[in-house]
């Protein structure tokens, strides 16, 4: 990791667990390179804390390539920080200035309880996904390519929905802590493709029911979710989700 | 040790193609460039965005600087054709198993094996095992095998927490990475590998004597998690060096500097090394080699050449 000379003041949310009250702690930090990612900057902080015998800041991370959806920091009042279409792991310190004070908080939502420090429990998303975010076709042998024609428009639109990495930034950004953008992306990616048709109605009904059960808020079409989404998932998917849901409710026989 | 990857020529070529398609006869250079960039964006937009974000340089405007890096660990757990490991009932899918990627794992194929195993193999093979288990009821965790395994894990956790040394798990991880990068990278040689094995064994000793793991066992503790992983990485690193030292040829991602053609290409030794190897853990720093011969009935083995 390259050495640098940025000096920062970090204000970081520390919380031992769900039951213990949390607080903001202030940490001065030196020697940060503008080429470091935001998470690498936290690695430096943690090494310093460990050297002093203090517990390092717990934060979620995995691939550090912007694909896995694990990183989840609320930086200076914005999920994944100041840059558009970028996850925290792909945010680099050159996006900040020497001498900056940076405030880092966890995702805040009733349906995402705190586990420790900046780590929240996002298993509600897994349960929504498990409720209907799948297809159940028998695969058999590999098919010939192009045996099911799919228009380029539909393929592109399904792909743009499937780009959702399930990080939860949409929930964190929303004043209502609504999960509509996430659910709409997961419903859209299947609704637009032939493989998603068999369970189409059941899927949207079950996923919306699970979303409500998890305690996410309602959608008021504010659009903060889409504006803060690192994968730029469009609000059009929410419109599609509403159409899918209405259609399913009007015509389906059972849930 | 980076090389430049310049898209300027490709942008111009794509741009001219687009101009032709659109029947523009008096296209300006700017138009061609703009149309060419749009084609590149459609093909590689997400990768270009990622590159720009990491390096702070715009690959549409300046050549990309690329260098070889460790991609994934090639190989994995031994499995049979049904994807079951040597532990009955334990299946390994995707790149956790060794089956499709051996010595050579082509880039950008990360999803291939996961999809193939998950989509086309396991739905049809796991039933054979589950069919015999359908009447098996709840298995008690009082069984000696479970108790033994649980105690082993608990002992290991207690041991890690009790060391209370001076160096973080992360610092050991970095040092291990440096040894592996320097001496067990894409090009390796016998001397380097022997040094690496000795250095890793010393690092292992130091780890188990001086690692500093903060926090407690019965809470969410990423440091403890990391310490356990680094301990595993140290063992895997040692084994990778032993394996690389054992295979006296160059093959796929394993390039032994001693074994190359005059032109610097990989030189295989099919006489002695045409096998897939699996190492069975015996005890600390001891593994036993099992070999499975590679038998080709329908193709003729040849040297791979990119020329």
Q: What is the pLDDT of residue B107?
A: 64
**What is the tally of helices (H) and strands (E) in chain B?**
9, 6
Report which DSSP code applies to A196: G
Q: What is the pLDDT of residue B102?
A: 64
Rounded to 5 degrees, what are φ and ψ at B79? -140, 160
| A58 interfacial to chain B (CB closer than 8 Å) | yes
CA distance A179 to chain B (A): 25
| A90 interfacial to chain B (CB closer than 8 Å) | yes
Average pLDDT of span A149-166: 95
Nearest to A50 among B50, B120, B214 (CB): B214
Q: What is the pLDDT of residue A254?
A: 63
* pLDDT, tens digit, 9 for 90 and up, residues A6-31: 999 999 999 999 999 999 999 999 99
CA-wise closest residue to A1 among A69, A47, A50, A55: A47
Rounded to 5 degrees, what are φ and ψ at B46? -65, -40
Nearest to B120 among A66, A85, A139 (CB): A139
Contact B249, B242 (CB under 8 A): no
The residue behind tokens 């407690």 is: B216
Q: Report chain A residues whose CB lies below 8 A from the CB of B49.
A: 85
Q: Report chain A residues whose CB lies below 8 A from the CB of B212.
A: 50
Contact B207, B284 (CB under 8 A): no
CA distance A129 to chain B (A): 18
- Kindly report the CA angle at B156 between B153 and B160, in degrees rounded to 5? 140
CA-wise closest residue to B75 among B201, B239, B199, B185: B239
Q: What is the pLDDT of residue B36?
A: 96
pLDDT above 60 for A213: yes
| β pairing state of A74-75 and A101-105 | antiparallel
- Beta-carbon contacts below 8 Å between A and B: 52
Q: Report chain A residues whose CB lies below 8 A from the CB of B53.
A: 66, 83, 86, 90-92
* pLDDT, tens digit, 9 for 90 and up, residues A103-153: 999 999 999 999 999 999 999 999 999 999 998 877 667 677 788 899 999
Nearest to A115 among B119, B120, B220 (CB): B220
Nearest to A90 among B53, B123, B222 (CB): B53
Q: What is the pLDDT of residue B111?
A: 80
* Joined tokens for residue B223: 């440091």
Instruction: Tell me how far apart the terminal alpha carbons of chain B are, to the nearest angstrom.
Output: 22
| B296 interfacial to chain A (CB closer than 8 Å) | no
Contact A180, A224 (CB under 8 A): no
String of DSSP letters for B25-52: SS--HHHHHHHHHHHHHHHHHHHHHHHH
Average pLDDT of span A81-93: 95
The residue behind tokens 């298995």 is: B139
Give the start-end residues of each E strand in B182-247.
187-188
Q: What is the pLDDT of residue B104?
A: 67
Work out the number of other CB atoms within 10 angstroms of the CB of residue B167: 17
Report which DSSP code applies to B288: E
Contact A51, A59 (CB under 8 A): no
Q: Report chain B residues whose CB lies below 8 A from the CB of A91.
A: 53
Torsion of CA A83, A84, A88, A91, to 10 degrees: -40
Q: What is the pLDDT of residue B108?
A: 65
Q: Report d(CA B156, CA A120) in Å as an integer.
A: 27
Nearest to B219 among A17, A91, A139 (CB): A17
- Mean pLDDT by groups of 10 residues along chain B of 307 residues: 90 95 92 96 90 92 87 82 94 88 67 87 92 91 95 97 97 97 93 98 98 95 97 96 95 91 91 90 93 91 77
* Joined tokens for residue A51: 């050297």
* pLDDT, tens digit, 9 for 90 and up, residues A230-239: 999 999 999 9
Please tell me the total number of residues recorded for chain B in this structure: 307
CA-wise closest residue to A173 among A181, A164, A165, A183: A181
* pLDDT, tens digit, 9 for 90 and up, residues A172-187: 999 999 999 999 999 9
CA distance A238 to chain B (A): 23
CA-wise closest residue to A26 among A43, A44, A45, A41: A45
Q: What is the pLDDT of residue B103?
A: 61
Q: What is the pLDDT of residue B68?
A: 77
* Joined tokens for residue B259: 């074994």
Q: What is the pLDDT of residue B57?
A: 94
Distance of CA B182 to the CA centre of its chain: 17
A-chain residue closest to B171, CA distance: A47
Nearest to B53 among A92, A115, A138 (CB): A92
String of DSSP letters for B55-98: HS--TTTSPEEE----------B---TTSB-SSTT-B--GGGBS
Residue to substitute from B56, B65, B114, B220, interface A, most A β-carbons within 10 A: B220
């Amino acid at each position: 990791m390259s050495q640098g000379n940025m000096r920062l003041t970090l204000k970081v949310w520390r919380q031992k667990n769900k039951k213990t009250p949390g607080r903001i702690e202030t940490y001065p930090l030196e020697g940060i390179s503008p080429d470091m990612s935001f998470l690498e900057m936290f690695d430096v902080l943690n090494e310093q804390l460990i050297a002093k015998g203090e517990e390092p800041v717990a934060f979620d991370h995995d691939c550090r390539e912007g694909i896995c959806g694990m990183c989840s920091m609320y930086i200076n009042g914005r999920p994944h920080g100041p840059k558009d279409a970028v996850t925290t792991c792909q945010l680099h310190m050159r996006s900040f200035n020497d001498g900056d004070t940076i405030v880092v908080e966890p995702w805040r939502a009733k349906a995402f309880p705190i586990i420790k420090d900046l780590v929240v429990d996002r298993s509600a998303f897994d349960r929504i996904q498990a409720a209907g975010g799948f297809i159940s076709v028998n695969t058999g042998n590999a098919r010939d390519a192009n045996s099911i024609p799919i228009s380029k428009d539909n393929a592109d639109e399904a792909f743009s929905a499937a780009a959702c990495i399930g990080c939860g930034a949409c929930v964190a950004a929303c004043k209502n802590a609504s999960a509509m953008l996430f659910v709409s992306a997961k419903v859209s990616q299947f609704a637009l493709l032939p493989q998603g048709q068999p369970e189409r109605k059941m899927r949207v009904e079950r996923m919306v029911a699970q979303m409500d059960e998890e305690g996410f808020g309602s959608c008021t079409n504010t659009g903060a979710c889409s504006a803060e989404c690192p994968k730029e998932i469009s609000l059009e998917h929410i419109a599609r989700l509403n159409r899918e849901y209405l259609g399913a409710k009007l015509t389906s026989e059972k849930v | 040790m980076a090389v430049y990857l310049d898209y300027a020529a490709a942008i111009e070529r794509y741009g001219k193609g687009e101009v032709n398609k659109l029947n523009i006869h008096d296209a300006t250079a700017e138009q061609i460039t703009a149309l060419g960039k749009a084609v590149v964006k459609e093909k590689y937009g997400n990768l270009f965005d990622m590159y720009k974000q990491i390096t702070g340089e715009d690959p549409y405007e300046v050549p990309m600087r690329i260098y070889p890096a460790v991609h994934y660990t090639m190989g994995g757990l031994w499995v049979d054709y049904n994807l079951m490991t040597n532990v009955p009932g334990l299946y390994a899918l995707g790149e956790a198993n060794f089956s499709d990627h051996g010595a050579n794992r082509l880039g950008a194929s990360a999803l291939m094996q996961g999809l193939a195993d998950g989509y086309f193999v396991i739905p049809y093979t796991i039933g054979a095992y589950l069919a015999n288990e359908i009447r098996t009821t709840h298995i008690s965790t009082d069984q000696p095998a479970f108790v033994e395994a649980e105690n082993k894990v608990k002992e290991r956790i207690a041991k890690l927490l009790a060391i209370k040394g001076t160096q973080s798990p992360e610092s050991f991880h970095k040092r291990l990475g440096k040894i592996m990068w320097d001496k067990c990278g894409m090009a390796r040689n016998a001397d380097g590998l022997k040094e690496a094995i000795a250095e890793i064994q010393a690092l292992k000793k130091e780890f188990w004597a001086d690692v500093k793991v903060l926090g407690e066992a019965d809470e969410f503790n990423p440091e403890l998690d990391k310490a356990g992983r680094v301990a595993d990485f140290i063992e895997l690193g040692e084994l990778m060096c032993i394996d690389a030292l054992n295979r006296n040829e160059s093959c796929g991602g394993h390039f032994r500097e001693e074994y190359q053609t005059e032109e610097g290409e990989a030189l295989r030794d099919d006489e002695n090394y045409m096998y897939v190897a699996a190492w069975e853990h015996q005890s600390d720093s001891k593994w036993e080699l099992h070999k499975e011969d590679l038998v080709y009935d329908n193709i003729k083995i040849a040297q791979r050449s990119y020329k």
